[in-house]
Amino acid sequence: MWQQYLQLIQQGDIKALARCISLVENEVGGYETLMQSLPPSHTPVVGITGPPGAGKSTIVDALIELIVQQQKRVAVLCIDPSSPFNLGALLGDRIRMSEWYNNPHVYIRSLATRGSLGGLHPKIIEIADLLKAAPFDYIIVETVGVGQSEIEIAGLADVTIVTLVPEAGDEVQTMKAGLMEIGDVFVVNKSDRPDADVFVKNLRMMLAPAVHNHQLNIPVIKTVASQKKGIEEMMTALKEKIQAFNKTGSTLNNRRSWLLAEKAFYLIQQKRMADVNKTALKKNIEAAGDKFNLYQFIQNYQQRK
């Protein structure tokens, strides 16, 4: 069955792809067989991250239009905030990108974070790899916009776009170095607003140490995504970064090995934790009563395993 699914996915069968993503999401028995059968792929995964309100979805929408105009195919994973009641996606991105849902060159899937704190879906690595088996030219992953913890995207994406707005001056000043360092391309959206040039200048000054230390060019692109301004420049910068990433022996190619190590670590961690049930832990804690000691509890739990 799984081999048949894989063949359909490689042929571009969207229904088979959607079905398999659901099977992976729900960890249906045997899905590991499908994942182990996936062939190597160099389809670029582009992460788009940044604070809420920066216009990430509008930028993705403009990117989709440009990619389709170039007769390319693109898959988009929109990581939506979870509903606190059923952990399902709130589907805000479906509204913003609705015009592309029937386009044969575009596949859009909304995924809920399901309580994940880093802005990504717990099965995002497997789902992205599944998409890489399909005949897409680009895979775009847009995060929910939860702030600094979005550095998780660096463990998934080949190239990361960090989206900001001119009003984010104070926010940029207080950003952890991690979020500033993961960006391969910085986009200042809504750059028709006042003080955009000053913000871009300050951002370039903040990025200067990272550029010097890594001897890399980190472009800062001004866009007005709602008017499609600056999108072509952003796409050009994106293509250059993808080419550099795939270049054998380059600094960024070394990063590919680290990304794969991050993915392997995360997946092994998931497997090791698979039999840890929070509800069972809670019951055991309650049974201990007032004599409960967290560290003794952990030690006893590990010994029982």
Higher pLDDT, 198 or 92: 198
Higher pLDDT, 298 or 217: 298
Higher pLDDT, 93 or 57: 57
pLDDT band for 9, please (50, 70, 90 cuts): very high
- Give the residue-averaged pLDDT of 276-284: 86
Q: Count the residues in the chain.
A: 305
- Tell me the C-alpha distance between 146 and 222, whole Å: 22
pLDDT band for 89, please (50, 70, 90 cuts): very low
- Tell me the C-alpha distance between 101 and 95, whole Å: 10
pLDDT at 272 over 80: yes
Contact 94, 235 (CB under 8 A): no
Over residues 94-123, the pLDDT tens digits come to 555 667 878 999 999 988 765 444 446 678
Higher pLDDT, 109 or 52: 109
pLDDT band for 145, please (50, 70, 90 cuts): low
pLDDT band for 221, please (50, 70, 90 cuts): very high
pLDDT at 46 over 90: yes
Specify which of 159-173, 183-197, 269-283 reaches the highest per-range mean pLDDT: 183-197
pLDDT band for 279, please (50, 70, 90 cuts): confident
String of DSSP letters for 3-58:
HHHHHHHHTT-HHHHHHHHHHHHTT-TTHHHHHHTPPP--PPEEEEE-STTS-HHH
- Tell me the C-alpha distance between 237 and 234, whole Å: 5
Computed over every residue of the chain, the mean pLDDT equals: 81
In this predicted structure, which of 30-44, 83-97, 270-284 has the lowest mean pLDDT?
A: 83-97
- CA 158 and chain centroid, separation: 10
| Domains observed in the chain | 1-36 (no CATH), 40-251 (3.40.50.300)
pLDDT at 138 over 60: yes
Specify which of 124-133, 246-255, 270-279 reaches the highest per-range mean pLDDT: 124-133
Where are any strands of DSSP class E within the chain? 45-49, 74-80, 106-112, 138-142, 159-164, 185-188, 220-222
Q: Which two tokens stand for residue 139?
A: 């895979």
Contact 239, 202 (CB under 8 A): no
How would you list the strands of the sheet with 74-80, edge to edge? 106-112, 74-80, 138-142, 45-49, 159-164, 185-188, 220-222
State the pLDDT at residue 98.
66
State the pLDDT at residue 15.
94
